[in-house]
């Protein structure tokens, strides 16, 4: 949720932000009107309630005729209070509904535009020149006995897969490497629940435009998380964090579930876009004024991971129209995928400033009172896309794949060899 004071004091800024995102700027005026109504209703209710409190007290003390008269007056007042209260509740709900639809204020340094208007910040490494025709990850996965998409489809349908043999081992090694790295950097490792209540999903901002990509269990009103960002952010829901403890950094390892609605026909081959995968995520609660610097730190850890995997990639500054509703700025790391002759997103880090914290009611106490913290998230490793990157970039002419040095101790091998 955006800052209500900022909305009142500087509605133009919010309108401009909505426009930059390609979202509805009229929400700002609707929210302002609803806020006005809400505040009037609150004042009205509170005046009546104060009157009722005083009157009630005198009823208790009064005797005889005086009491009867006061009771009559109090009864009439009671009805008025009830009405004012329901009006107050209704106007508050109206305001909240509209305010919750407004996305986070974009960072003015983010490039304005749609998906294609990103800015390339840097390119790291150079795409490898193959002296043979490189195979794609589906083919390599079959040769190495690492990925089984056919049986994934048989058992669960499109966009499901099995990681088998060295594929399964590779996941475990990647996870171990990532968690080890994050722990060394001071992150607290977490294995969170992946079924969450609506409050957690809503608080992290996934029930807005992103709602269609969220699996929902109707019977039990649980949501399956699309990222451990959700349970990690909600971990401190309704808490006041000790300012001295910030930044609080967590690294979560969890399955992620995505409906991938509206992506029919996109990335249908292989495991680039799937309904279920595991991911190691970084999450940070920090002081608002630290958020921009913390964002850079998360990006640096993402780069460190990709460097260790010896994969060429570039970093992009995602355009305003392609930001999630909670993010004010987002950097994606895109790995080079040889068979697609393109860079594809493998990790992503978002600065959500105080937007999520306000919704989740995560605060800290400082000299200027109690105020919301900033939250940031970043992928350390999303397994399927990292497997794709490693297999395709490190493949040899015979179909074997060289294991990056950093992973060798975790895998106990330096090469994946064709099976059968």
Residues 95/37, Cβ–Cβ less than 8 Å = yes
Active site residue 219: no
Query: Could you give the C-alpha distances from 365 to 241, 242, 277, 362, 368, in angstroms and in order?
Result: 7, 7, 37, 10, 8
User: Which of 249, 297, 358, 385 is an active site residue?
Assistant: 385
The minimum distance between CB 88 and RNA, in angstroms, equals: 9
Q: Which stretch binds RNA (CB under 7 A): 24-32, 57-65, 118-126, 180-188?
A: 57-65
Of 10, 40, 68, 89, the residue at the interface with RNA (CB under 7 A) is 89
Q: Where does this chain touch RNA (CB under 7 A) — which range of 10-18, 67-75, 323-331, 373-381?
A: 67-75
Q: Is 40 in the site for RNA (CB under 7 A)?
A: no
Q: Which of 6, 33, 50, 243 contacts RNA by CB under 7 A?
A: 50
CA dihedral 82, 87, 92, 97 (to 10 degrees): 130
- Which CB, 74 or 211, lies closer to RNA? 74
Interface positions, 332-391, toward RNA (CB under 7 A):
363, 365, 369-370
Query: Is residue 314 annotated as a catalytic residue, yes or no?
Result: no
Residues 6+ apart with CB under 8 A from 227: 254, 256, 279, 281, 377
Cβ contact 35:3 at 8 Å: no
* Residue 249 among the catalytic residues: no
Among 13, 16, 32, 59, binds RNA (CB under 7 A): 59
Q: Is position 159 annotated as part of the catalytic site?
A: no
* 385 noted as active-site residue: yes
Torsion of CA 99, 101, 106, 112, to 10 degrees: -140
Choice from 81, 166, 271, 335 touching RNA (CB under 7 A)? 81
* Gap between the Cα atoms of 337 and 310, Å rounded: 13
Interface with RNA includes 32 (CB under 7 A)? Answer: no
Minimum gap (Å) between residue 57 Cβ and RNA: 6
Binding part of the chain for RNA, among 52-60, 120-128, 157-165, 305-313 by CB under 7 A, reads 52-60
> Of the two residues 42 and 406, which places its CB atom closer to RNA in the complex?
42
Instruction: Determine which residue in the list 46, 150, 304, 414 makes contact with RNA, applying CB under 7 A.
Output: 46
The whole-angstrom separation of Cα 170 and Cα 176 is: 10
Confirm if 313 and 124 have CB atoms less than 8 A apart. yes
- Interaction of residue 60 with RNA, rule CB under 7 A: yes
Q: Is 77 in the site for RNA (CB under 7 A)?
A: yes
Of 38, 159, 249, 258, the catalytic one is 258
Nearer to RNA, 86 or 296 (CB): 86
Find the shortest distance in angstroms from Cβ 285 to RNA: 16
Q: Which of 13, 16, 32, 74 binds RNA (CB under 7 A)?
A: 74
Residues 238-257 that bind RNA (CB under 7 A): 240
Residue span binding RNA (CB under 7 A) among the ranges 15-23, 47-55, 204-212, 308-316 = 47-55
- List, by residue number, the catalytic residues: 258, 273, 345, 348, 385
Site residues, RNA (CB under 7 A): 42, 45-46, 49-50, 52-57, 59-60, 71, 74-75, 77-78, 81, 89, 240, 363, 365, 369-370
């Amino acid at each position: 949720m955006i800052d209500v004071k900022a909305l009142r004091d500087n509605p133009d800024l919010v309108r401009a932000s909505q426009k930059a995102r390609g979202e509805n700027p009229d929400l700002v005026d609707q929210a302002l009107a609803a806020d006005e109504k809400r505040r009037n209703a609150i004042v009205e209710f509170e005046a009546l309630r104060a009157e009722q409190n005083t009157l009630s007290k005198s009823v208790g003390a009064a005797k005889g005729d005086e009491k009867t008269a006061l009771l009559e007056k109090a009864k009439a007042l009671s009805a008025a209070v009830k009405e004012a209260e329901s009006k107050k509740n209704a106007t508050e709900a109206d305001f909240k509904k509209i305010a919750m639809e407004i996305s986070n204020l974009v960072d003015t340094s983010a490039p304005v535009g749609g998906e294609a208007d990103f800015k390339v910040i840097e390119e790291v490494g150079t795409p490898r020149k193959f002296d043979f025709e490189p195979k794609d990850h589906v083919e390599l996965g079959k040769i190495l006995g690492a990925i089984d998409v056919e049986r994934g489809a048989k058992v669960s349908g499109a966009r499901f897969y099995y990681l088998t043999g060295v594929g399964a081992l590779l996941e475990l090694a990647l996870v171990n490497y990532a968690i080890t790295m994050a722990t060394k950097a001071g992150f607290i490792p977490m294995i969170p629940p992946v079924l969450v209540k609506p409050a957690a999903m809503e608080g992290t901002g996934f029930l807005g435009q992103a709602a269609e990509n969220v699996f929902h269990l109707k019977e039990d009103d649980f949501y399956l998380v699309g990222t451990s960002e959700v349970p990690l952010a909600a971990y401190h829901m309704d808490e006041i964090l000790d300012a001295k403890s910030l930044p609080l950094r967590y690294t979560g390892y969890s399955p992620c579930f995505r409906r991938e609605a509206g992506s029919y026909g996109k990335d249908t081959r292989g495991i680039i876009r799937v309904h279920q995968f595991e991911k190691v995520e970084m999450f940070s609660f920090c002081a608002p004024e630290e958020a921009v610097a913390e964002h850079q730190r998360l990006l640096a850890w993402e780069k460190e991971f990709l460097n260790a995997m010896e994969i060429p990639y570039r970093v992009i500054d995602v355009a305003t129209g392609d930001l999630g509703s909670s993010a004010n700025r987002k950097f994606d790391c895109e790995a080079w995928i040889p068979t697609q002759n393109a860079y594809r997103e493998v990790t992503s880090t978002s600065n959500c400033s105080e937007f999520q914290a306000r919704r989740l009611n995560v605060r800290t106490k400082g000299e200027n009172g109690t105020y919301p913290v900033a939250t940031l998230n970043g992928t350390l490793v999303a397994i399927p896309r990292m497997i794709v990157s490693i297999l395709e970039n490190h493949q040899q002419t015979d179909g074997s794949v060289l294991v990056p040095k950093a992973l060798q101790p975790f895998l106990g091998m330096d090469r994946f060899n064709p099976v059968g």
